[in-house]
Structure 1
Amino acid sequence: MTQHAATEPDVHASTRGESILQIGPVNPTVQSTLASEFGALRLPDDEAERGAFLDRHADGISVAVCSGRFGVDAGLMRRLPRLRAIVNFGVGYDATDVAQAAERGIAVSNTPDVLTDCVADTALALYLDVLRRVSAADRFVRRGDWERTGNFPLAVRASGRKVGILGLGRIGAAIAHRLEAFGCEIHYHSRRPVEGSSYTYAGSADELAAAVDVLVVATAGGPESAGLVDADVLAALGPSGYLINIARGSVVDQDALVSALAQGRVAGAGLDVFADEPRVPAELMDLDNVVLLPHLGSGTDETRQDMAELTLENLRSYLRDGSLVTPIG
């Protein structure tokens, strides 16, 4: 998507008043700035209150500020006839109807790059934890099982593995770079081969899963990637294979994964994301071969501050001249 040109002066004629709408909770720095500097409106969380709110304010709203979890969905976008820009806190924007935004010429921004390293670090932490069974061993010690039953069961080697990266974008490449330091052989699948990459390209997710010991899901979310890791991909990964997901819960067929883990058709999984957050399938809770994180991929003080600053940069830039610092597409 190209940047939206400043052809409609009412879009950014004022930096205050009812032109800016906050959707859902956002980062505290962003939220306080929206209120103090911009006098932004806040969309009610209660569905029953939204209709009356939009009846009063929808025609005056030109910019929406949201997060990856609470975006501008199809129904809300249709209720905002003068919406011209969506400023998203987060790299993911699958909660926003980007197809409708493109059709209407609505500019959309996200916060890439600033969270790449921390998300890649989280993927590496899950990789090491699942293969070396770090969290399971911690629970073993805390329960007193070391003293009662003897040594903890053996894990598997983390170094020197064949690892598949599903989605070799910024984050996928950062994960691959870290795994190279462990002597891993990197394979990948993206919509097309990445120019200049020395890694081994696989033509499909199934082909990638069949070639590796560990499959790391790092592709973007959204309708195009929904269910990409399905039962067939998990079968290709096999009973000695491991799955790491730091992308979006929607990319993996969660029911198929739960079944494969429970029946030993996949060796283990490290999951930072789920299909219906914050709800996590009960069947996963007691599995020692699964590590569960509460979607904290970029959850460090430093990264969240960088994301907040970039979100506000995008907003100020759009209000100033109609451009976005980091437009998607």
Structure 2
Amino acid sequence: MKELFDVKLRDDDSPMSRAQLVEAIQDADVLVPTVTDFIDAPLLAQAGERLKLIANYGAGVDRIDVATARQRGILVSNTPGTVTEDTADMTIALILAVTRRIPEGLRVMGSGDWAGWSPTAMLGGRISGRRVGILGMGRIGQAVAKRAAAFGMQVHYHNRKRLRPEVEQALEATYWDSLDQMVARMDIISINCPHTPSTFHLMNARRLKLMKPDAVIVNTSRGEVIDENALTRMLRAGEIAGAGLDVFERGHEINPRLMDLPNVVLLPHMGSATVEGRQEMGEKVIVNIKTFADGHRPPDLVVPGVL
């Protein structure tokens, strides 16, 4: 970026404060925020006349008021596809970690209390043959489906739109029009849909109660899709067998009652954290900015009507 543009970099690897964001949007032609920056209508109201593009470093734009930005003549771009494989890998990792009790095993080894192998110690569950219900069958959901099938799982899914027959057949995936019916019959629920007003608490208390007592849920998408308080209550009561969470409803503020549960695996939003993924995200940001600077439509333009 420094070779192409006059760039003001933020070297500190931490979220910008509100005041810093205001300062940035008042002076810049292009803002490059991350998924932790809230670009809402009150902030956009303070934007300077020069700001014409928000080139988001990340695929998710749920924290950007895209409609208000467009009304003010500000385009928004993102970096789709760059985190697909990495997030799908982490989804499978969480499924294995929860069902095979990997963190519990690590704690036993770390404590020095392991007394050796025994027939009934650390018994988990076999994932082959289990039904996985994927909530959200976009790029990441389909990548999860391919991996799940390779592990011998039966793939089911619920999506806003049903996949084309040839795609569905290639994935060997069964479509459920009713999310309630799918949730009630799955052994594993994988959350892979974006956070939008329509998906906020999509897995609410009522829907969580439909899950089988021996089922587990994993979330590598957005924490707001699950009612975290309801999930915590059910996990503590043994009404759900386990959970693997890489994202949380209140960002980095994690419900403390989740922290001490042996049947829960918590990760610090690592789903897309690979060197390769971060580099690809940066490359897409640069392409979007350069294309816009050259007077053309950014290739990854976000359109409010299709969010």
Which interval holds the TM-score relative to the shorter structure? 0.7 to 0.9
1:190 shift after superposition: 0.9
C-alpha displacement of 1:46 = 4.5
Residue of structure 1 equivalent to 2:155:
186
Q: Is the Cα contact below 8 Å between 1:71 and 1:93 reproduced in 2?
A: no
Does residue 211 of the first structure (1) align with residue 185 of the second (2)? yes
**Contact 2:243/2:265 (CA < 8 Å) preserved in 1?**
yes
Cα drift, residue 242 of structure 1: 0.5
Residue 24 (structure 1) aligns with: none
> Separation in 2 of the partners of 1:317 and 1:324?
6
Q: How does 1:40-119 map to 2 (within 5 A)?
A: 40=8, 45-47=16-18, 53=23, 58=26, 61-80=28-47, 82=49, 83-119=51-87
Q: What's 1:163 paired with?
A: 132
- Which SS does the other structure have where 2:95 is aligned? helix
Change (3 A) 1:208 1:104: farther
Tell me, yes or no, if the aligned pair for 2:76 and 2:301 is still in contact at 8 Å.
Answer: yes
Residue 233 of structure 1 and its aligned partner are, at CA, apart by 1.7
Cα distance change of structure 1 residues 86 and 204 upon mapping to structure 2, 3 Å threshold: farther
Match in the other structure for 1:295: 269
Cα shift readout 1:38-64 (whole Å, capped 9, x = no counterpart): 23487x94446776x47xx72x54422
Residue aligned with 1:117, SS: helix
**Count of aligned residue pairs for this structure pair:** 292
Render the CA deviation track for 1:154-175: whole Å, top value 9, x for unaligned. Answer: 1111111100000000000000
Letter in 2 for 1:216: S
Please tell me whether the aligned partners of residues 206 and 232 of structure 1 are also in contact (alpha carbons under 8 angstroms).
no
- The alpha-carbon deviation at position 35 of structure 1 amounts to 9.7
The structure 1 residue matched to 2:218, chosen from 227, 236, 244, is: 244
Aligned-residue offset at 1:93: 1.0
**1:231 corresponds to which residue?**
205
How far off is 1:149 after superposition? 10
Letter of the 2:42 partner, please give it. G
Give 1:309 deviation, angstroms.
Answer: 1.0
Deviations along 1:15-42, one digit per CA (max 9) or x if unpaired, are xxxxxxxxxxxxxxxxxx3698323487
- Check whether the contact 1:164–1:188 (CA below 8 A) recurs between aligned residues: yes
Amino acid at match of 2:92: L
Work out whether residues 140 and 152 of structure 1, in 8 Å CA contact, stay in contact via their aligned partners in 2.
no
- Shift of residue 182 of structure 1? 1.3
TM-score, normalised by the number of residues in structure 2? 0.87
Question: Which residue, out of 238, 243, 253, partners 2:227?
Answer: 253
In structure 1, how many angstroms separate the alpha carbons of the residues matched to 2:52 and 2:5?
A: 20
Distance 1:313 1:49 in 2: 25
Residues 146 and 152, structure 1, Cα contact 8 Å, conserved in 2: no
1:131 to 99, 104, 107: 99
* Contact 1:120–1:175, Cα closer than 8 Å, also in 2: yes
- RMSD between aligned alpha carbons? 2.3
CA distance in 2, matches of 1:226, 1:239: 23
- Quote the sequence identity (%): 38
Compute the displacement of 1:306 (Å).
Answer: 1.0
Q: Which runs of 5+ in 1 are unaligned?
A: 1-32
Which 5+ residue runs of structure 2 have no aligned equivalent? none
Using the size of structure 1 for normalisation, the TM-score is 0.82
> In the aligned structure 2, how far is the partner of 1:50 from the partner of 1:213?
44
Choose which of 247, 256, 262 in structure 2 pairs with 1:282.
256
**Structure 1 residue 105, shift from structure 2 partner:** 4.7
